[in-house]
Structure 1
Amino acid sequence: MTEEAKQDVMLISVSSRIPDFWTDQPALWFIQFEAVVLPQKASDDSCYQLLIAKLSKQVIQEVADLLASPPATGKYLALKKRLTDAYEESETRRIQKLISEMQLGEQKPSQLLRRMQNLAGKRMSKETLLVLWQNHLPQAVRTVLAATALEDVEKLASVADKIMYQLPTREGK
């Protein structure tokens, strides 16, 4: 089998393991994409072609100029940057979501914390994030957490999960 044929087989195999591009979470999508593609030692051109194949019509329209005239080198990174710039939420929007749109709902407190950590990234102090997270918990949970000497956020989340499990029903804030 020629090298070109091997590359074609690899691309077909890899392509089937990559989901369509996630406009709502481009950074996470690229983590998954690169986890599948990079171990295959795919070329820049192969990564670029695979990426294009995973874009919807609407997304392709957003980057049509770059697709029509790609750079001579670094095509994949140029397209990745353009997509990330176009679809990644601004820091202001992320903070707005953290403050006003996050809700505990039916998830565990630890799950809410992880969602909030993912949204905040490294742009917010752990202390600030902890306060925001606790404000989304029922009063009974906040009261018990305040009485603990724990400072580790992960341990607090674990305790909050256990408290929620013991509550008769989901209490409102």
Structure 2
Amino acid sequence: MSFDNKDAAGPSDPQVTALAVRVPPFWRRNPELWFVHLEAQFQMSGITSDATRFNYAVVGLDEESILLVSDVVKSASYAQLKSELIRRLSASESAKLDHLLAGLTLGDRTPSQLLREMRQLGGSKIGDDLIKSLWLRRLPEGTQAILACVSGSLEELAATADQVQEVYHPTIAAVQSRRGHHFN
């Protein structure tokens, strides 16, 4: 008995192509990165039609985001929808710089995570020397002292700072003792 696969759905079948795209839920905090992710899905699925891209993007938006661009959704192209969502939801350059200069702290991040966020906020407008200076100021004093003795690229310093933080500021897990159990 031979198996003839002529009726099987192939890559040109629109139903298979439609199933291949998984539109991620919209990321209001980072619409630009959401579009990068969505466009990777389009690339993997071979979707090049502007109308198809537009429809998939609209399907991925939550109600609040659709309302934000309701004027664009009614009669726009994919490129216009993308640029308007990014423009309307992204912080202004001055707000990003304000946050970079005054608003960031290390918090519960690693030093390398803080550095990546600072670089993202600074974009191409802020050079590595200024980023390095701002970044070092936000690290614990002990880490700053150790890094003052280390040479290397900013990435190497960040890796060293991560190791220092891991040693000197480990996550503390609560330990509960059991009453009544004594070991001699």
1:64 equivalent in structure 2: 70
Question: In terms of Rg, which structure is larger?
Answer: 2
1:88 equivalent in structure 2: 90
Query: Residue type of the partner of 2:58?
Result: I
1:164 equivalent in structure 2: 165
Alpha-carbon distance, 1:100 to partner: 2.3
2:155 equivalent in structure 1: 154
- Counterpart contact for 2:111–2:161, Cα < 8 Å: yes
Q: TM-score, normalised by structure 1?
A: 0.84
Moved more, 25-34 or 97-106: 97-106
Given the alignment, which residue of 25, 28, 53 partners 1:23?
A: 28
Matches within 5 A, 1:23-172: 23-42=28-47, 43-70=49-76, 75-150=77-152, 152-167=153-168
Query: Residue type of the partner of 2:92?
Result: S
* Aligned positions, number: 163
Alpha-carbon distance, 1:55 to partner: 0.9
Alpha-carbon distance, 1:66 to partner: 1.7
What 5-or-longer segments of structure 2 have no aligned partner? 1-6, 172-184
Inter-partner Cα distance in structure 1 for 2:70 and 2:151: 55
What 5-or-longer segments of structure 1 have no aligned partner? none
Please tell me the root mean square deviation across aligned C-alpha atoms, in Å. 2.2
Alpha-carbon distance, 1:168 to partner: 5.3
Three-state SS of the structure 2 residue aligned to 1:81 is helix
- Counterpart contact for 2:112–2:161, Cα < 8 Å: yes
Q: Which structure is richer in relative contact order (CA contacts within 8 A, separation 6 or more)?
A: 1
Q: TM-score, normalised by structure 2?
A: 0.80
Inter-partner Cα distance in structure 2 for 1:36 and 1:164: 37
What's the CA shift string for 1:63-110, capped at 9, x where partnerless?
Answer: 11222223xxxx111111111111111111111111222221222111
Three-state SS of the structure 1 residue aligned to 2:132 is helix
Inter-partner Cα distance in structure 1 for 2:14 and 2:130: 48
Identity over the aligned pairs, expressed in percent?
30
Alpha-carbon distance, 1:169 to partner: 6.0
2:176 equivalent in structure 1: none
